[in-house]
Amino acid sequence: MAYTSPARGHLYPLVPILLTLVDGGDTCVIQTLSGELDHLAATGVEAMALDPVLECSQLEDWRARSPRLAIRSALQTFGRRALLEAPDLERTIAARDPDVLLVDINCWGAATVAEASGRPWAMYSPYLLPLPSRDAPPYGPGLAPLHGPLGTVRDALVRRVVTGGFDRAALGGVNAVRAVRGLPALQRFGGLLARAPLLLSFTAEGFEYPRSDWPGNIRLVGPINWSPPAPTPAWLPELPDPLVLVACSTERQADARLLQRALEALPAAGFSVIATSAAHDPDSFRAPLHSRVVRFISHEIVLERVVCVVCHGGMGITQKALAAGVPVVAVPFGRDQLETARRVEVARAGVRVPPRQLNGATLVHAVQGAIRRRPGALRVGRAYAAAGGATAAAAAIKGLFSDRINRRAHGNTPTARS
């Protein structure tokens, strides 16, 4: 039984894992966005809708006036969702009696219910894990690695500020749900991630910073990509090479100007552009000759041709591009994108452009520079493939089955706590 937040970027990576389990004879149920149920039914995975009130609880961090307030807004949204997730998943557990639970990292209420249920459970993260490490800069501001005594001092000071603020903003929502279900309060948000017997991270070293202190419950399986099947648009072959894909976030944020700058500058520099506006109205953009703006298109179809991907630094599109060996220009506007964009730069798999430096000339220069870094993108793609993907993730989840099976064999099947 899988439970996701109301975001396609958190749903689609799960589908290949569940299909692998189904192919092995298991029954898989996923509770997710109502608008995706038909797509999922066609795959053979049984799908159920989230509580409709929960599904309508969308991120509002793009309205915030500063990065600090944006993070607080996002964490407050997750806290409000947690209060709805908990009873939502409890109803499903009571109805379906699942052997194993798989929960989205952003679903704090569902994770609490999974822990309280006494059943084997796992958590998954489609973005970089917000965990401290002696081998990596503090998570959040997108700092470049800095080694030696200066780096140690910088990281300690920044970690104290960033981690403390994050914990203060997140733990109220987490502990409110835990208290109702008789679970101890957590002192750090990282404690929630440590509660899961298995935490699947959808990335791999080679893109993520290598670490000697990964917690024992974490398994890095690389990016896992899926999208609903779609035909190749008839107009796609008409766009000449070299072709650049420009992608906005599926969750609304202030990244429309990235698409607009690309449409203004890249065709004039000799590139054709296909742009996915996602959360923005495609009709609000003017596409010049040899360019096209659509809300969605299968990125897998486009990645076969493009020489570069320009995006907001979301993990989904960034890793999808690199897995295909396509270099990236990442322009991070907030959320986890600062960390993702920095790793693109450090891996030499593309170019990072701060939003305040975004203009036509800068973007053209960045695309040209990213194309020269294709060897780095290919190197990251090989690291992803070696991590195992859906097969490795499914095997790790199967490893949790034995506890549930043994309990049933002894007539001791746990039930969800009310």
pLDDT digit string, tens, across residues 101-160? 999 999 999 999 999 999 999 999 999 998 889 999 998 889 999 999 999 999 999 988
- Structure tokens, 375: 């060897």
Closest C-alpha to 250, from 283, 203, 290, 299: 299
Residues 374 and 400 grouped into a single domain: no
Looking at 117-126, 159-168, 210-219, which range is the least confident one? 159-168
User: How far is the C-alpha of 283 from the C-alpha of 289, rounded, in Å?
Assistant: 15
- Is the predicted pLDDT of residue 75 greater than 90, yes or no? no
Boundaries of domain holding 327: 236-385
User: How far is the C-alpha of 81 from the C-alpha of 87, rounded, in Å?
Assistant: 11
- Any domain includes 211: yes
- Any domain includes 53: yes
* pLDDT score recorded for residue 162: 80
pLDDT digits (tens, 9 = 90+) for 5-49: 998 889 999 999 999 999 999 999 999 999 999 889 888 889 999
Residues 251 and 370 grouped into a single domain: yes
- Any domain includes 56: yes
Residues 362 and 405 grouped into a single domain: no
Residues 31 and 48 grouped into a single domain: yes
Looking at 47-51, 159-163, 206-210, which range is the least confident one? 159-163
Could you tell me how far CA 138 lies from the centroid of its own chain? Answer: 19
Residues 67 and 187 grouped into a single domain: yes
pLDDT band at 253 (very low <50, low <70, confident <90, very high): confident
Specify the number of domains making up the chain.
2
Residues 16 and 92 grouped into a single domain: yes
Choice between 413 and 139, residue whose per-residue pLDDT is larger: 139
Mean pLDDT of the chain: 89
* pLDDT score recorded for residue 44: 83
- Any domain includes 229: no
pLDDT digits (tens, 9 = 90+) for 360-384: 999 999 999 999 999 999 999 999 9
- Any domain includes 414: no
Q: Output phi, psi for 30, to 5 deg.
A: -130, 135
Residues 339 and 398 grouped into a single domain: no
Residues 45 and 194 grouped into a single domain: yes
Q: Can you give the CATH number for the domain in which 400 is found?
A: 3.40.50.2000
User: How far is the C-alpha of 11 from the C-alpha of 5, rounded, in Å?
Assistant: 8
Mutual angle of helices 256-265 and 360-371, in 10-degree steps: 80
218 three-state secondary structure:
strand
- Any domain includes 308: yes
Q: Percent of the chain at pLDDT above 90?
A: 62
Mean pLDDT calculated for residue range 69-88: 83
Q: Which residues contact 409 (CB under 8 A, 6 or more apart)?
A: none
pLDDT digits (tens, 9 = 90+) for 299-347: 888 998 999 999 999 999 999 999 999 999 999 988 889 999 999 999 9
Q: Which residues contact 387 (CB under 8 A, 6 or more apart)?
A: 204, 220, 221, 222
- Any domain includes 227: no
Q: Output phi, psi for 243, to 5 deg.
A: -110, 135
Residue whose tokens read 């780095």: 376
Residue whose tokens read 């009571």: 94
Task: Give how far Cα 201 sits from Cα of 128, 156, 161, 193, Å.
Answer: 7, 25, 25, 11
378 three-state secondary structure:
helix
* pLDDT score recorded for residue 402: 67
* pLDDT score recorded for residue 104: 94
Say which amino acid occupies 46. Answer: E
Looking at 105-119, 192-206, 249-263, which range is the least confident one? 249-263
User: How far is the C-alpha of 404 from the C-alpha of 401, rounded, in Å?
Assistant: 5
Residues 141 and 39 grouped into a single domain: yes
Say which amino acid occupies 272. Answer: S
Strands 350-352, 291-294: pairing is unpaired
User: How far is the C-alpha of 99 from the C-alpha of 414, rounded, in Å?
Assistant: 10
- Is the predicted pLDDT of residue 67 greater than 70, yes or no? no
- Any domain includes 124: yes
Residues 199 and 275 grouped into a single domain: no
Residues 173 and 280 grouped into a single domain: no
* pLDDT score recorded for residue 70: 73
pLDDT band at 416 (very low <50, low <70, confident <90, very high): very low
* pLDDT score recorded for residue 414: 46
Residues 170 and 243 grouped into a single domain: no
Q: Percent of the chain at pLDDT above 70?
A: 94
pLDDT band at 404 (very low <50, low <70, confident <90, very high): low
- Structure tokens, 372: 């020269």
Looking at 51-65, 117-131, 239-253, 350-364, which range is the least confident one? 51-65
pLDDT band at 165 (very low <50, low <70, confident <90, very high): confident
- Structure tokens, 238: 């008409």
